Structure 1
Amino acid sequence: MTPPSLPPTVAAHVPTGVLIDGAWRPASTGRTFEVADPATTETLFDVADGGEQDALDALTAAHDAFPQWRATAPRVRAELLRAVFDTLTARTEDIAALVTAEGGKPLAESRAEVAYGADYVRWYSEQAVRFEGLARRAPSGANHQLVLRRPVGPALLITPWNFPIAMIARKVAPALAAGCTVVIKPAQLTPLTTAYVAEIIREELEARDLPTGVINVVPSASARTISGPLLADPRLRKLSFTGSTEVGAALLKASADNILRTSMELGGNAPFLVFEDADIPAAVQGAVQAKMRNAGQTCVAANRFLVHASVAEEFTAGLTEAFDKLVVGHGADEGTTVGPLIESSAVDRVEEVVAEAVDAGARVRIGGDRPNRPGYFYAPTVLDRVSADLRVITEETFGPVAPVVTFGSEDEGVALANSTPFGLVAYAYTRDIARVMRLAESVETGMLGVNRGLVSDASAPFGGVKSSGLGREGGEAGIEEYLDSVYVAI
């Protein structure tokens, strides 16, 4: 039976098993779990629920394929990734339909995500032949120094549910470009897109007579069941994780015994600063972009709107008007601009933090409730008169809620921006270039968007500071996470 949210041509080509050494198979556990459309709650597919043995079999395949893949010419790896990019681009509509079905986001956003994810594949197809090394005479003159780059080894990639193609692309592409083999643990809520993309890569490997154990996928309803045995196995040499800070901290501890190379893109609580000299219409437009992608369910979503008191009402009124024009609905429906949240508990949490804010004196300018329709929806919401100590400010909401807090001076605004353990991204609207440079020095963040609500780019380093993680994805830095330096004294 074809899932109601998917075209038959797409549904027929979605793998639902465990991928190990080039073959899709049922889980060794014999179990499956359901993947549902969050806009309707209808089941899309039953997916293999991988267990410990599947994880270890996948690592064996990655470990056995590693010597040949490491020795494969960089140009061959580059051409494979370029072919994957071409296929992803050609199948944009099919993949976008899959992203919308399992994740809920509007089709326009899903198409943009396919392009964004494919861009990482193209970028790293170009980087695969550009590893930088070093050859020079030592300062003492006694010998020559040679620095070579080589792949770290088999890598475990654990991805979140909110960007099912982009998150896997920006991990798999640099790993394969560097010469690493991979085991992928996709998110339980959105494993279908990952499986579809993995099949594209598997087909390209097979067509070139390259080891199919280069890429392995183990979906599971229990992430710990997969990560635990793999992190304890000395054959694994690298972990890349995107998700919550709490889980990231636990994975870092589990990675310590085998001294794994780790990359962690963790939680955020992005401030959106609007200064008194800002272009307010542009700030409103940027705020909608920074807040409402995927209904606010992104790690780089603006979570706290910190607005200079002199322009607070103008900005809040403009944001309220912009939110009023948003259209809530099924992502596949024409005209929809805001889809559902991913599951019922996500709606419950958003409802809870908004109610807490209102009880404490916040004012609802628009929204503040659940639409009367099936699925996991919450109305786009603007709050003002918000106290900075409320959970809607101090915690990452991960929903379509924009709370506005006012400040008086630049120093006060920066202090509010920095008053959190997180530092993934920040946004600032101002016409003062001297202030921009001060913010670049003073705001504790890994990324800063100035007069724009979008910062992500395949060619730029993506990552945070403090509790938002370590390491970078994207740009030249992204491939460094999968490479070791070898110094040779001659």
Structure 2
Amino acid sequence: MSNYPKLHMIIDGEKVSGGGRNTFDVVNPATGETIGALPMAEAADLDRALEVAEKGFRIWRKSTPQERASVLQGAARLMMERKEDLARVATMEQGKPLAEARIEVMMNVGLFNFYAGEVSRLYGRELVRPEGTRSTIRLEPVGPVAAFAPWNFPIGNPGRKLGAPVAAGCSVIMKSAEETPASALGVLQCLLDAGLPKEVAQAVFGVPDDVSRHLLGSPIIRKLSFTGSTVVGKHLARLATENMQRTTMELGGHGPVLVFDDVDVERVLNTAVPGKYRNAGQVCVSPTRFIVQENVFEKFRDGFVERAKALKVGDGLAEDTQMGPMANPRRPEAIDAMIANAKEKGATLHTGGERIGNQGFFYAPSVLSEIPLDADIMNEEPFGPVALINPFRSEDDMIAEANRLPYGLAAYAWTEDYKRQQRLGAELEAGMVGINSHMIGGADAPFGGVKWSGHGSEDGPEGVRACMVTKAVHEG
């Protein structure tokens, strides 16, 4: 593991480490071995980052669309050139297969290139007024942004957190997950190497609650962007109210998948199974609760189990691996507890339900069926490689189950009935709905949820505008 990079923070363009700071051990989830020591921010580091971000905003808010586009396009080119290095580092510290890590790099390339075009479309409007007067509506950057990114997409999440503020003309302080720091640093370095002024973007790490309280306690920060659990999101939202900071919150989900009896079951399985076990199920929009019409329930369940058993689980650095380890030791423990609770409640475990091997954090792809609705796993996001499959009779019952939980991030449905497709698009309570597809994201499409899954959007034009404020100017 000697090719894992030396870790640091980035403040005012300086690589900050050492100095007697506490460190956090970064672990390879495939082996359980420590591969790096991450310096943790002290209060003075955070104060310095805030001071620099304030300066950076004054610089970058005056940048032209052409300057912002040039930086974003340059960073996209550098990510392409560094794709293999970025992907390998992400796999080493997060565990996902190399193929998935490469897709993450390309997600960022697409997003940065889209934002490079979007910066020329951030215009307001002029109102119709009597001669001699003028009223205009302006879009302006909101100010310094505090951005918190989780570990499950160690390249893609930092790309979202950095790309939108940079495109909007804001400065940003990013605190990415301590478990996956090198990936986030690699993305930021691409922006800096592409010409982003060093004052505009900083990367800090530290005890999450300490960092969030320190940054959000400062009036310098004008906006919070957070991706993570609903529990933490609610806590941060409360902190943000003290200084009336705007928020974009992409929180947890519990993705329902409605499968009707008019579908080609094999076709659905060919999409649903890889979607479920992508990133070992550690995906906020993961298809999780399979709500299957009775006539095709047994065929769907048995086909799912067969495919789950056949998955190749192993070190993400091996090219033939289809599912890597879970990202940290907390996740197998949580999945063990949820599956045990479901079995106690009467659910049937068809495959999995156990760890694999005696090193790393590997967990077998698992399938439960006939799970009572009061089981923990039917109400709390499992965030792991577990598929939940239950039979239902009618369309109304299936929709009611899909909408039963307070989460509303992503929902999916499979049916050949066009009128039903239209009804589902309207009635499913989610920020994103996939019908006959699990592809619900894209650089040009808003990504976000409703209810306890948060508010606001990332990606698309909406992602940039979430980092802007509206100003009305009236001239007499």
> When the two structures are superposed, what TM-score results if normalisation uses the length of structure 1?
0.94
Counterpart in the other structure of 1:288 = 273
Q: Could you tell me which of 256, 260, 263 is aligned with 1:278? A: 263
Q: Could you tell me which of 403, 425, 429 is aligned with 1:444? A: 429
Shift of 1:388: 2.1
Instruction: Name the aligned partner's letter for residue 150 of structure 1.
Output: E
Counterpart in the other structure of 1:219 = 205
Instruction: Name the aligned partner's letter for residue 380 of structure 2.
Output: E
User: Bigger CA drift: 421-430 or 23-32?
Assistant: 23-32
Counterpart in the other structure of 1:163 = 153
Instruction: Name the aligned partner's letter for residue 211 of structure 1.
Output: P
**1:29–1:51 contact (8 Å) kept in structure 2:** no
Aligned pairs for 1:94-105 (under 5 A) are 94-105=85-96
**1:158–1:242 contact (8 Å) kept in structure 2:** yes
Q: Does the residue aligned with 2:361 lie in a helix, a strand or coil?
A: coil
Counterpart in the other structure of 1:23 = 14
**2:21–2:42 contact (8 Å) kept in structure 1:** no
Q: Does 1:38 align with 2:29?
A: yes
**1:279–1:429 contact (8 Å) kept in structure 2:** no
Shift of 1:142: 7.7
- Determine the C-alpha separation between the residues in 2 that align with 1:475 and 1:42: 39
Aligned pairs for 1:366-445 (under 5 A) are 366-445=351-430
**2:93–2:180 contact (8 Å) kept in structure 1:** yes
Q: Could you tell me which of 83, 86, 106 is aligned with 2:97? A: 106
After superposition, the C-alpha distances for 1:231-278 in whole angstroms (9 at most, x for unaligned) are 111111111000011111111111112111110000111101101112
Shift of 1:424: 0.2
**Structure 1 consecutive aligned stretches of length 4 or more whose deviation exceeds 6 Å:** none
**1:28–1:50 contact (8 Å) kept in structure 2:** no
Aligned pairs for 1:260-275 (under 5 A) are 260-275=245-260
Shift of 1:367: 1.6
Q: Could you tell me which of 302, 312, 325 is aligned with 1:327? A: 312
After superposition, the C-alpha distances for 1:26-66 in whole angstroms (9 at most, x for unaligned) are 26662111101011011111111112221121111110121
Q: Does the residue aligned with 1:473 lie in a helix, a strand or coil?
A: coil
Counterpart in the other structure of 1:199 = 189
Shift of 1:279: 2.0
Shift of 1:15: 5.0
Instruction: Name the aligned partner's letter for residue 164 of structure 2.
Output: P
**2:6–2:36 contact (8 Å) kept in structure 1:** no
Q: Could you tell me which of 149, 170, 179 is aligned with 2:139? A: 149
- Determine the C-alpha separation between the residues in 2 that align with 1:204 and 1:442: 45
Instruction: Name the aligned partner's letter for residue 163 of structure 2.
Output: A
**2:250–2:456 contact (8 Å) kept in structure 1:** yes
Please, what is the CA RMSD of the aligned residues?
1.4
Q: Does 1:310 align with 2:290?
A: no
Q: Does 1:57 align with 2:48?
A: yes
Instruction: Name the aligned partner's letter for residue 147 of structure 1.
Output: I
- Determine the C-alpha separation between the residues in 1 that align with 2:414 and 2:42: 48
Shift of 1:290: 2.6
Change in CA separation of 1:28 and 1:185 when aligned onto 2, cut-off 3 Å: farther
Q: Does the residue aligned with 2:113 lie in a helix, a strand or coil?
A: helix
**1:27–1:50 contact (8 Å) kept in structure 2:** no
Change in CA separation of 1:278 and 1:27 when aligned onto 2, cut-off 3 Å: farther
After superposition, the C-alpha distances for 1:3-38 in whole angstroms (9 at most, x for unaligned) are 26xxx3xx3xx3511211111112666211110101
Q: Does the residue aligned with 2:382 lie in a helix, a strand or coil?
A: coil
- Determine the C-alpha separation between the residues in 1 that align with 2:274 and 2:284: 13
- Determine the C-alpha separation between the residues in 1 that align with 2:19 and 2:439: 42
**1:306–1:405 contact (8 Å) kept in structure 2:** yes
Shift of 1:203: 2.2
Q: Could you tell me which of 445, 464, 471 is aligned with 1:479? A: 464
Counterpart in the other structure of 2:121 = 130
- Determine the C-alpha separation between the residues in 1 that align with 2:66 and 2:365: 48
Instruction: Name the aligned partner's letter for residue 421 of structure 1.
Output: P
Q: Does the residue aligned with 1:276 lie in a helix, a strand or coil?
A: coil
Change in CA separation of 1:308 and 1:299 when aligned onto 2, cut-off 3 Å: same
Shift of 1:289: 3.1
Shift of 1:117: 2.1
Change in CA separation of 1:66 and 1:311 when aligned onto 2, cut-off 3 Å: same
**1:137–1:143 contact (8 Å) kept in structure 2:** no
Q: Does 1:246 align with 2:231?
A: yes
Percent of aligned pairs with the same amino acid: 38
* Paired residues, number: 475
Q: Does the residue aligned with 2:59 lie in a helix, a strand or coil?
A: helix
Q: Could you tell me which of 297, 301, 307 is aligned with 2:286? A: 301
- Determine the C-alpha separation between the residues in 2 that align with 1:437 and 1:372: 46
Shift of 1:315: 0.6
Gaps of 5+ in 1: none
